[in-house]
Structure 1
């Protein structure tokens, strides 16, 4: 049985960049499950699997289709209970929801402030038009004016990670001695920033960067697109 993970890329299909898709990449490796990754452009997503979802990730596992990274993780936990746990129990699921909230309300906006125009530059013309139309409608201003101070956003980024550094004083992963899905949630945001901007914009001695590099090793046997992106 071939599993298919539909992810997001720009014009270069070897550089999938969605933070939510990267969560699932690491979750699948955590479970030791083989899969084929199929990167899609923004405008291609509604064309696959009979318009199953307007967003990725989408996982096809046999006759099952699942969207949304957290729902995919829950599915993998239930469908493959004999494989290493992504949550370590109900408490781990609750913790992951808190981490998801921190990542999406604090880290993701900080990444967007750095990388919005980098993402735009990665896209083919048809997807640039889609990206500009949807983002300008959301922000109610021209794309170039949404985050005008990129250097300031880079300088401000490390401070957003203080809760992560605090945790790393006591343990190597959010999950404790070993990573759990909560780690992959934050990893996805870091990897998004690295793929689209070329760096995570942290000094080499930063504990958050060292944690990111430890997580990177977990995807060492990833399929070709993921290998290139790393």
Structure 2
């Protein structure tokens, strides 16, 4: 039976843009599990999840109530509803053991903290990519995105983007952050381009999901993406291109 995959739409080519949903989409495509996408606007995520019985993934920063997020899946073959990309990956591993694993060599215990370590190094990117992402969302989702992001950062979305010397400094910090990740990958360069060398794993999908987000939002011909593509000897462009077949949106 075909899994239903819930994702957030946009005006970007292919509609899919979110790095968090892409992690799960990568896993579904890599495993070759049949699925179809149902699009849910930001403003409808909470009501949609409540209607289907999909559990919240965290607690809201403001007010402390349950926080509902995507991705989520519904697997008609088991009746399960699963939310949050890491839980989806773990569910698919256990439920479909005959498909290619995203945790080779039993590395699941190491892959989860890698996710957090990697994203913590991307913090300088947020001021650049969030305003650009806002422009790609549909109006109904823009309203939600504005409210939540402005509450978090304490300033208007239009004020997030640094300018002048501040922009130059922050962009250098972006390069430095990815440079630290590159050092991790260098440890296995002798056996292949992936985090574990010649084996694709969850960590590669995590890294690529954020890079693809940037490529989609800024565009392949943008200065930002061209910069990123050139960093660390072209490592990030090569990684994304090596996983291109698993970007499919269905």
In the superposition, the TM-score normalised over structure 1's length comes to 0.85
Shift of 1:42: 0.8
Maintained 8 Å contact 2:12/2:217: no
Shift of 1:61: 0.9
Deviations 1:100-133 (A, max 9, x none): 01222112x2332221111111123332222111
Match for residue 227 of structure 1? none
The CA distance in 1 between the partners of 2:229 and 2:147, in whole Å, is 35
- Runs of 4+ in structure 1 off by over 4 angstroms are none
Q: Larger RCO: Structure 1 or Structure 2 (Cα < 8 Å, ≥ 6 residues apart)?
A: 1
Match for residue 85 of structure 2? 69
Shift of 1:166: 2.1
Maintained 8 Å contact 1:100/1:182: yes
- Paired residue secondary structure (2:141): helix
Q: How many residues align?
A: 220
Give the RMSD, CA atoms, in angstroms: 2.2
- Structure 1 unaligned blocks of 5 or more: 225-230
- Structure 2 unaligned blocks of 5 or more: 57-67
- Paired residue secondary structure (1:174): coil
Maintained 8 Å contact 1:103/1:189: no
Maintained 8 Å contact 2:14/2:249: no
The question of 1:143 aligning with 2:160 is answered no
Shift of 1:39: 2.7
- Paired residue secondary structure (1:206): helix
Distance change >3 Å, CA 223–CA 143, structure 1 → 2: closer
The question of 1:183 aligning with 2:204 is answered yes
Match for residue 62 of structure 2? none
- Paired residue secondary structure (2:239): helix
- Paired residue secondary structure (1:103): helix
Task: Select between 169-178 and 77-86 the one with higher mean Cα deviation.
Answer: 169-178
Write out aligned runs for 1:58-207 (5 A).
58-62=72-76, 63-90=79-106, 92-107=107-122, 109-149=123-163, 151-152=167-168, 153-169=170-186, 170-171=188-189, 172-199=193-220, 200=225, 201-204=227-230, 205-207=233-235
